[in-house]
Amino acid sequence: MKWFYILSTALVATLVALPLFVLHTAGSGIGAPGVVYNAIYSADVKSLDPATCGDVTSSTIQANFYEGLYTYHYLKRPVEVVEQLASGMPQVSADGLTYTIRLKKGILYHRNPCFGKDPAGRHGWNTRTVVAQDFVLSLKRVADYHVNTGLAWAFLADRIVGLDAYREKTRQFRIGDFSRYDIPVEGIAAPDSFTLVLRLTAPFPQFIYVLAMNNVYAPVPREVVDYHLSTTSDGRGGRVSIPVQDRVPEIMEQEQVVGTGPYILTTFKRKWSIAMERNPEYREDFYPAEGEGPSAGYEGDKAAGLLADAGRRVPFVDRINFRYVEEEYATWMLFLSKQVDVTGIPVETFQAVITPGKELTDSWKKKRISLSRTSDPVIYWIAFNMEDPVLGKSKSLRQAISLCYDAENEIRILSNGRGIRAVNVVPSSFAGHTEAGPGPYFRFDTAAALRKIEDAKKELAAAGLLVNGKIPELKFDMSDGPMNLRMADFARQQFARLGLRLKCIFNDWPTLQRKVQNKQIQMYYMGWAADYPDAEDFLQLFYSKNIDKGTNNSNYRNPEFDSLYEAIRVMPDSPQRMALYVRMIRLISEDCPLMPIYEPENFTLYYDWMLNIKQHPIGYGYLKYRRIDARLRHALGGSEG
Amino acid sequence: MKKSHETNATPVSRGLWADAALRLLRDKAAMACFAVIIIYAAIAIGSPMVFGDWSAAHDYNHRNESPSWQYPLGTDALGRSVLVKVFLGAHVSMTVGFMSNVIALPLGILLGALGGFFGRRIDDFVVWLYTTLASIPGIILLIALKFAFADKVLFPGSFFELDLSGMAGVYVALGLTSWVGTCRLVRAETMKLKELDFVLAARATGRGNLAIMFHHIVPNLMHIAIINFSLGFVGAIGAEVILSFLNLGVQNLPSWGKMINEARMDLIVGRWWELTAAAGATFIIVLAWNIFGDRLRDALDPKLRNV
């Protein structure tokens, strides 16, 4: 009996103490050593495959584990292309048609079962070095008819000798027949393991920028295709071939991701969480030693403390935890409770945080929070589907809508003034914007809009498209979320000035993109973030041959514009090319296939333990440069894991 | 010798309806709730006429203002009066509540009466139908229907054009999903009534099944219909608020659910008025309908009077 009392007392004491012990170890981060960066993603990651990456969220995630030949310098502005997996800038032939690119040697892929077991036995799985043939395969995959490579293909179509013919050939193959990757492409060659030669059909001055689209043209080892996409587990530790008809040609699972980047993807739970760990075999890469100098309104990178880590090996952070949080409010609360290191500012709280002079208020500075402000080359617009019978038929209707839309108030009310009015289809920081000047209809003028709407009624009446003498109700698609409820109300107020009825349709982000691609849409709110610092990136959005490639989403067709585009796409930077840019921008401003609304200004808040924060306007994959002062974070009570 | 007043009183004979009306009139709480419902109904009918075309309304210079004499319930992010939004929200909620019951009640009564009266395979079918429907969570079914109605317009271009993506879709979806409770009650009541003498008498006079059902049984189910109307109204208002909160409700008009959705971020910066107004308006009408429905059931169902 005595033992019973002793044992029962011990058991109860253990049960009481256990939660305390567990909670204590969880809080101290035991079991998860290293510095962890806590971040949020709020839109679905559409793609884990570099070839199918075409949206900002996927690029932001992918750029941490995939790398391309070139990238942009982290600190320098204006942006500057620098080598990443290439060992130097490409050698371009005198006629501008042949690019010879040498690769860095000794770049290792992340260890993965597709390379077999590690023969040395020190690691679970083997790896191998990146070779030029891997880039050949990645370019072939981008051209593969059976892989949905909208954006990646749009930049290469008609550009590389034999690649379009290769794409046609892949159509003949069944989706799961990967022997199509053995067909040679005339314009892509790997004369040795570390040299890649690309032959273009015509000069393409922006080609270097295309190669710098960080992860889109990242190398893919053939082993991924042969192991992950062609075989599956037999349940006994071996592999069995997947029947050809059942194979999926796209990388879609976490274990299929094999990159060279600073982080290895360890967890991928769609719309839940993404985790990455430092790649222990990452190549020798260092924090930049040079930065942006002082300029009007900016003290320069050195004075801003952005060169304190110059020359140090990256990455600094050991683990990245992305948590999926759709609601801005929830993200904000996570930031305030120091569970997230960096955040944007919700519209509702903006006035409480930012002064009228667009600086952080003193009370927030006292919380050891800092502000980063950047203007990115992004334009948000309302695009019209030019294949829609009503909007496509009536230029006057599109012009009237553009004139009646009070974009300045939209920026002021819905974005707290975080942006400037976009007055043509090229960002204000790009050459060509100022030269082309503001579009005649991209201004707020209700009287002019009312005159235009009468013309529109005549055009639509002539086409037999009026319903009971009125313009039919227009459908306006946008993303969902509480802010877009206000956006919808605001848009209705604008359209009501012209007596137009508007039906707003809310979609999640992938659905909206799918509807746009499938042309199941009349009018929609979206934006375009520059892929490279040249107006051509925005002008290609209106080239008719890019309708099928998925970038001309307004389905605009204009033979005059097309011939101008075909002229500029091979021209080097020159006054003649600028003159053509101006003509093209003005053509769009006249035809109004879309209505530019604003160029956003980003306000990012971060705790003082976050170091080396500088937003890049175009590139991705800069988390490797961020450093966390773990002591300060601990002292301030920030979440450490 | 004194006689008591009571023993001298002449017994008064009143019908079910007159008796129920008298009981309700004597019930102060019921009358207060009824007055609230009438006020809401008047607002619902009058507000679209008074406030005209809402889609154009805005005042960007008076955004997010707290309650004042000019704006008794403050203004929203686009400078619109929250009071007006509450009034127009009442129009949406009351319309949805009414119209969904207009669809659900006849459906429930018809199917319940058919099943209860004819029995056998017809009853089997009705029971299967409502059991199947009841096995699907109501709000999920509503959301699914709203998605299915996303681009549906019935009878386009005609006088009867019905755009199911808007408010019509909300009350059609609600009507199609909320008849089960009425159907169950009506079916059980019909099974009881069809065995009573007055039905036998009608049958003896040679009246057909349908005539007996519609002339003798259905009129005796009206008290169930009325009670279910009041209870269904509450459910419909609640469902409309949820659908609007999820962006699946009405377009072009304010609704309480939309107001709550739009204003939920306002609370953290101290702008309480829009959310409070929408939640308060919903609370008052739901409470009024609940109490009134409860008293109505007491008045119409003699068995419950002494419970």
CATH number, position B32: 1.10.3720.10
List pLDDT tens digits, range A530-584.
Answer: 999 999 999 999 999 999 888 899 999 999 999 999 999 899 999 999 999 999 9
CA distances from A284 to A106, A231, B227 (A): 10, 34, 77
Across the A/B interface, how many CB contacts are shorter than 8 Å? 62
Chain A residue numbers touching B278 (CB-CB < 8 A) = none
List of E strands, chain B = 153-154, 162-163
In this structure, which amino acid lies at residue A533? P
> What is the mean pLDDT of the segment spanning A212-235?
92
- For residue A378, give the nearest of A426, A317, A321 by alpha carbon: A426
Higher pLDDT, A629 or A295: A629
Q: Report the DSSP beta bridge partners of residue A523.
A: A384, A476
Do the beta carbons of residue A196 and residue A135 sit within 8 Å? yes
Cβ of A413 within 8 Å of Cβ of B165? The answer is no
Question: Counting Cβ atoms within 10 Å, is residue A445 exposed (0-12), middle (13-18) or buried (19+)?
Answer: middle
**Comparing A119 with A60, which gets the higher pLDDT?**
A60
Task: Give residue A30's pLDDT.
Answer: 38
For residue B53, being part of any structural domain is answered with yes
Nearest Cα to Cα of residue B56 among A495, A485, A484: A495
- pLDDT above 50 for A56: yes
Considering CB atoms only, which of A346, A488, A492 is closest to B265? Answer: A346
Under DSSP, the state recorded for B88 is H
What residue has token string 């209106």? A542
State the total domains in chain B: 1
Contacts of A493 in chain B (CB under 8 A): 55-58, 78
Taking alpha carbons only, the member of B297, B128, B131 closest to residue B225 is: B297
Q: Do B258 and A348 touch (CB under 8 A)?
A: no
How does pLDDT run across A302-351, given as a tens digit for each residue? 999 999 999 999 999 999 999 999 888 889 999 999 999 999 998 888 98
Task: Output the pLDDT for position A20.
Answer: 60
Compute the mean pLDDT over every residue in chain A, rounded to the nearest whole number: 92
| Backbone Cα Rg of chain B | 23
Q: Where are the alpha helices (DSSP H) in A199-287?
A: 207-211, 222-223
Identify whether the C-beta of residue A42 lies closer than 8 Å to the C-beta of residue A271.
no
Phi/psi for A350 (5° steps) reads: -55, -45
Distance from the A598 Cα atom to the nearest Cα atom in chain B, whole angstroms: 18
* Model confidence pLDDT, tens digit, residues A370-405: 999 988 899 999 999 999 999 999 999 999 999 999
Q: How far apart are CA B192 and CA B217, in angstroms?
A: 10
B195 falls within a domain: yes
Q: What is the DSSP letter of A472?
A: P
Mean pLDDT of chain B: 86
Query: CA-CA distance, A167 to A156, in Å (whole number)?
Result: 11
Can you say whether residue B272 is alpha, beta or left, with left for phi > 0 and alpha for psi between -120 and 50 degrees?
Answer: alpha
CA distance A353 to A350: 5
pLDDT in tens, B151-174: 777 877 777 777 787 788 888 888
Instruction: Please report the pLDDT score of residue B302 as a whole number.
Output: 65
Q: How far is CA B4 from CA B9, B10, B11, B12, in A?
A: 9, 12, 14, 17
Task: Give A505's contacts in chain B (Cβ within 8 Å).
Answer: 150
Q: Residue A175: is its pLDDT beyond 90?
A: yes
Share of chain A above pLDDT 70, in %: 97
Within-domain flag for B11: no
DSSP-derived pairing of the beta strands A610-611 and A627-628: antiparallel
What pLDDT score does A255 carry? 94
Q: Shortest CA distance to A248 belongs to which of A148, A154, A326, A150?
A: A148
Is the predicted pLDDT of residue A498 greater than 70, yes or no? yes
Is residue B156 situated within a structural domain? yes
- Pairwise CB contact (< 8 Å): B261 & A490: no
Give pLDDT, residue A347: 87
The whole-angstrom distance between B262's CA and the closest CA on chain A is 6
**Nearest chain A alpha carbon to B56:** A493
Alpha-carbon distance values, A417 to A350, A596, A603, B41 (Å) = 10, 16, 11, 41
Contact status, residue A402 vs residue A441, Cβ threshold 8 Å = yes
Q: Which residues pair with B125 in a beta bridge?
A: none
Identify the CA nearest to A413 among candidates B268, B58, B70, B247. B58
pLDDT, residue B154, reads 80
What's the domain range around B175?
Answer: 17-300
Q: To the nearest 10°, the Cα dihedral for A251, A253, A254, A255?
A: -80
Among chain B, residues having any CB pair with chain A shorter than 8 Å are 53, 55-58, 60, 63, 77-78, 150, 157, 165-166, 247, 251-252, 258, 261-262, 264-266, 268-269, 271
Calculate mean pLDDT across residues A114-139. Answer: 92
Residue in chain A lying closest to B151 (CA): A505
Task: For residue A118, give the amino acid letter.
Answer: D
pLDDT digits (tens, 9 = 90+) for B233-282: 888 888 888 888 887 888 788 999 989 988 887 887 889 999 999 999 99
Percent of chain B with pLDDT over 90: 42
pLDDT of residue A32: 47
pLDDT in tens, A63-106: 999 999 999 999 999 999 999 999 999 999 999 999 999 999 99
Asked if residues A290 and A251 have their Cβ atoms less than 8 Å apart, the reply is no
For residues A512-531, one letter each, b for 16 or more C-beta atoms within 10 angstroms of the residue's C-beta and e for the rest, the string is bbebbeeeebbbbbbbbbbb
Counting as low any pLDDT under 50, the low residues of chain B are 1-7
Chain A residues touching B264 at Cβ < 8 A? 329, 482
Asked if the Cβ–Cβ distance from A409 to B60 is below 8 Å, we say yes
Query: How many Cα atoms within 13 Å fall on the side-chain side of residue A254?
Result: 12
What burial class does residue A16 get, using C-beta atoms within 10 Å of its C-beta: 0-12 exposed, 13-18 middle, 19+ buried? exposed
A37: part of which helix (H) or strand (E)? strand A36-41
A→B interface, C-beta within 8 Å: 328-329, 332, 346-349, 351-352, 409, 412-413, 467, 480, 482, 485-486, 488-490, 492-493, 495-497, 501-506
**B285 belongs to a structural domain:** yes
Q: What's the one-letter identity of residue A189?
A: A
> Would you say residue B3 lies in a domain?
no
Q: Is residue B120 part of a domain?
A: yes
Residue B306 located in a structural domain: no
Say if CB A413 and CB B60 are below 8 A apart. Answer: yes
Give the nearest partner residue to B60 out of A348, A351, A413, using CB atoms: A413
**A446 close to A403: Cβ distance less than 8 angstroms:** yes
SS3 assignment for A382-401: EEECCCCHHHHHCHHHHHHH
d(CA B169, CA B22): 38
